[in-house]
Structure 1
Amino acid sequence: MGMKQAIKKLDAFPRAEEHLLQKTQSGALVSIIGLVTMATLFYHELAYYLTTYTVHQMSVDLKRGETLPIHVNITFPSLPCDVLSVDAIDMSGKHEVDLDTNIWKLRLNSYGHITGTEYLSDLVEKEHEAHNHDHDKDHHDDSHAKQHTHGFDDAAETMVKKVKQALANGEGCRVYGVLDVQRVAGNFHISVHGLNIFVAQMIFDGAKHVNVSHIIHDLSFGPKYPGIHNPLDGTARILHETSGTFKYYIKVVPTEYRYISKEVLSTNQFSVTEYFSPMTDFDRTWPAVYFLYDLSPITVTIKEERRSFLHFITRLCAVLGGTFALAGMLDRWMCRLLEALTKPNPRSILR
C-alpha cells in the first residue's frame, strides 16, 4: 500500500472535487476564445514550419570554360531597328559586331506598339554586301568612284530614305534575346556603329542628333531564382535636347541557388554604377549605350532549408500550453469578479 500511495503522489493531474467542477457561461466564453486562439496559433506555427528560409554562403569561384548568358530586353523609342546594332568585346580579344545569334529586334510605331520583326544582322549583312559590291563594280566616272569609295551606292541611298522616313514617323525598336559571351570581363553596347560612317552622317546629320533614349525592361546574367533583384529592370533614361553615351559598370557575382529538392540553379546576380557622358562639339564618337561587366571571384551559394520538426513541436507546445494556462487564469478572474458582483451585501440583510 505504501508503494501505491507514493506513486499517487507523483500524479501531476489530480482530480478536482465534484462541487468545484461547475460549468458556467463565463467559462464557456473563455473556452471558445481559448480554442479559437489555439487554432489560429497552431495554423501560424504550421505555416511557419512549412515555409523555407535561405542560408547564404560564400566561396571562391572555381568555374572555368563556361559561357556567360546575358538576357537583354531594351526599348529604344527614338531609333529605328535599321540603324541599331549590338556589339560585344571581351578581355580575351574577341570582338563581335552586330551579334545575330538569339538576338531579335521588334519594330515599334510612335505609340510603342509592335509593327514587325527581323534579325539584327539584316542591316549589317546588307551593308557588307553593298560595300563588297562597290569594290567589285566598274567605276565609270569620278563621281561614281567617290561614292563607291565611301561605300555609298543606290542601296545605301534607299536605306537612308527608309530610315529618315522611319524617324519622321517616330519609329522605335525593342532589342531582346540572349548573348552568350565568354566568362571574362568585357562589354556589349547598342548603338549605330554598324552603319557606314558616311551613311550615318546622311541619316542623322551629326552625332548630336542620335537619340539613344532607352528603357531597360530586363537585363540579367542567367535565369532568375526566388527573391532575385536585378537593379536595372524598369530603368528609363529619356533624352530630350541633348545626346550622349550611357555607361553601366556592372559587377557580376556568380550565384548558385539550391532548392529544398536538392536541385541546383546556376545563375548570376549583379550590382551596377551608372555614368552619362553628354556629347560635345569636339567628340568624334557616336552616342551609344554601354554595359561594361566584370566578374567577381567569389561565388554566393543560397540554400533553401526547412526548420526542424523538434523545433516545430517545441514552439507548438509553448504556444498551446501558454494559451491554455492564460485561459484558465482568465476564467478564475472572471468567476471571482462575478461572485463579487452577485454576492449579497451583509448590511442590506441586517436591515
Structure 2
Amino acid sequence: MRRLTKKKALNLVKELDAFPKIPDSYVESTASGGTAFTFMALLAFLEFFVYRDTWMKYEYEVDKDFTSKLRINIDITVAMKCQYIGADVLDLAETMVASDGLEYEPVNFELSPLQRIWQLTLWHIQERLRVEHSLQDVLFKSALNIAPPSAIKNDDSSAPLNACRIHGHLYVNKVAGNFHITVGKSIPHPRGHAHLAALVSHDSFNFSHRINHLSFGEMIPGIISTLDGTEKVSTESNHMFQYFITIVPTKLNTYKITADTHQYSVTERERVINHAAGSHGVSGIFMKYDISSLMIRVTEQHMPLWQFLVRLCGIVGGIFSTTGMLHGMVGFLVDIICCRFKMGIYRNFKVSVVLLTDYALL
C-alpha cells in the first residue's frame, strides 16, 4: 500500500465531512421566504402590544359589610336662594342625618361660556357611555384627575346670585334612604323631621337644578357617575323631581388606584304638583336610594410572561408550518400546469424523451 505524503493526508482530512449537507435550495433567498418572515415579524410586533395591554375582570359576590357608613358626595345647584331651601337625609330606620357636611354657596344659575363647555363635554361622555360600555373600563384604568364644571368659577361678578350650590359629603347608615332638597330649613321632630316652609312665598319656588356631581363611596379621580351633568329646568313653581337610585358596592383594584366605591343606576320621574288636579306631593328634589346585596370586584389584569412566550412560539411555528404547506401546494400545482401546457422546464421535455429513445434503439 502506497504511503500518503503529509500534504496529501492533510487534504484528505479537509475533504472528509461526516455531516450531511444542506441542499442549495434551502439557503436560496426567495420572495416567499421574505414575505413569510415579514408577516411573522409583524404578528410578533402586534402580539407585543397585546401583551402590554390590560383588561378589567368583573367578579360578583355577596356584600357582607353591614356596619360601615356610606359616604354620599353631593354637588347640586338649585335655582333658589340658599335661605329658602334645606337638604338632609332620612334613612329607612327613620334616622335623620344632619347636613353639617354640606355647604350652601350663593351662585348664578346661568353658566359662563367655559362652564357650558364643561357641561356639553359631560353630556357627550354620558351619551357615549350609554352606548359604548367598554369606555367605563378606560375610565377605571385612566384615573384622570378631571375637575367638575362647578370648580370653574364664573368670572362675571355682576351676575345676580339667584341660585344656591349645595356641595360636600355626608355619612349615612348603609340602608335605604332618601336625600332630598325642599323648601325651608329642616328641623328635628319626634315623628321624623319637618321643614319650615310656611315663611317662604310660592312665587320664589323654582326647583330647576343642575347635578354637577353625585356619587357614593370614596371619591375616585376620572370616574364619571351616572347623574353627573344632569340639568332639569322647570317652568312651574310647584314641581317634584324624583330619582330612584340603586347602589352597587364596588371594589376597584387597578395598577393606579385601589378603592372601595359604589356604582349606581337611576330611574327618573318628574311631575307638577297640582292638588286641584289630584297630583299631590311636596315640591322639591328627592333622591331615593337603595343598596344592592351584591358586590362587584373590578380587577385590572395583565397577560403573564409565560403565556406571551407560548403565544409567540405558536406564531413562529404556525407561520413556518403554514407557509411550508402553501409553498409545497403551490409548487405542486405549478408543476402540473407547466407539465400539461409544456411550459418552463417542461418545454423541451418531449424532445429529450425522443432523443433518449432513439439513442436506446441505436
Q: TM-score range by the shorter chain?
A: 0.5 to 0.7
Matched, 1:268 2:270: no
Matched, 1:197 2:188: no
Match of 2:320 in 1: 324
Which residue identity lines up with residue 29 of structure 2 in the other structure? K
Which residue identity lines up with residue 55 of structure 2 in the other structure? Y
SS of the equivalent of 1:299 reads: strand
Matched, 1:16 2:7: no
Match of 1:147 in 2: none
Which residue identity lines up with residue 227 of structure 2 in the other structure? L
Change in 2 beyond 3 A, CA 1:338/1:180? same
Question: Number of residue pairs matched?
Answer: 274
Match of 2:82 in 1: 81
The counterpart of 1:181, out of the listed 158, 172, 188, is 172
Q: Distance between the aligned counterparts of 2:285 and 2:248, measured in 1? A: 22
Deviation, 1:69, is 0.8
Note if contact 1:75-1:172 (Cα within 8 Å) is conserved in structure 2. Answer: yes
Which residue identity lines up with residue 59 of structure 1 in the other structure? E
Q: Distance between the aligned counterparts of 1:326 and 1:239, measured in 2? A: 68
Aligned pairs for 1:114-133 within 5 A: none
Aligned pairs for 1:240-251 within 5 A: 240-241=235-236, 243-251=238-246
Matched, 1:252 2:253: no
Note if contact 1:110-1:171 (Cα within 8 Å) is conserved in structure 2. Answer: no
Q: TM-score, normalised by structure 1?
A: 0.63
Q: Distance between the aligned counterparts of 1:218 and 1:15, measured in 2? A: 76
Change in 2 beyond 3 A, CA 1:285/1:65? same
Note if contact 1:104-1:177 (Cα within 8 Å) is conserved in structure 2. Answer: no
Change in 2 beyond 3 A, CA 1:56/1:179? same
Change in 2 beyond 3 A, CA 1:319/1:200? same
Q: Once the two structures are superposed, what CA deviation does each residue of 1:323-345 show, in whole Å capped at 9, x if it has no partner?
A: 33445566678889999686695
Deviation, 1:200, is 0.9
Q: Structure 2 unaligned segments of length 5 or more: list them.
A: 1-18, 115-158, 186-194, 352-362
Which residue identity lines up with residue 81 of structure 1 in the other structure? C
Matched, 1:171 2:162: yes
Q: Once the two structures are superposed, what CA deviation does each residue of 1:263-303 show, in whole Å capped at 9, x if it has no partner?
A: 75212122222222321044775411111112222222223
Matched, 1:287 2:310: no
Deviation, 1:245, is 0.8
Which residue identity lines up with residue 230 of structure 2 in the other structure? T
Change in 2 beyond 3 A, CA 1:260/1:326? same
SS of the equivalent of 1:48 reads: helix
Match of 1:138 in 2: none
Matched, 1:105 2:109: no
Note if contact 2:208-2:234 (Cα within 8 Å) is conserved in structure 1. Answer: yes
Change in 2 beyond 3 A, CA 1:333/1:75? farther
Q: Distance between the aligned counterparts of 2:255 and 2:232, measured in 1? A: 40
Match of 2:232 in 1: 237
Change in 2 beyond 3 A, CA 1:19/1:298? closer
Change in 2 beyond 3 A, CA 1:230/1:47? same
Match of 2:292 in 1: 296
Q: Once the two structures are superposed, what CA deviation does each residue of 1:106-132 show, in whole Å capped at 9, x if it has no partner?
A: 512544589xxxxxxxxxxxxxxxxxx
Deviation, 1:221, is 0.6
Which residue identity lines up with residue 70 of structure 1 in the other structure? I
Note if contact 1:110-1:170 (Cα within 8 Å) is conserved in structure 2. Answer: no
**RMSD (Å), alpha carbons:** 4.0
Deviation, 1:45, is 2.1
Q: Return 247-256 or 51-60, whichever deviates more.
A: 51-60
SS of the equivalent of 1:44 reads: helix
Q: TM-score, normalised by structure 2?
A: 0.61
Match of 1:91 in 2: 92
Change in 2 beyond 3 A, CA 1:94/1:338? same
Q: Distance between the aligned counterparts of 1:260 and 1:342, measured in 2? A: 63
Deviation, 1:228, is 6.3
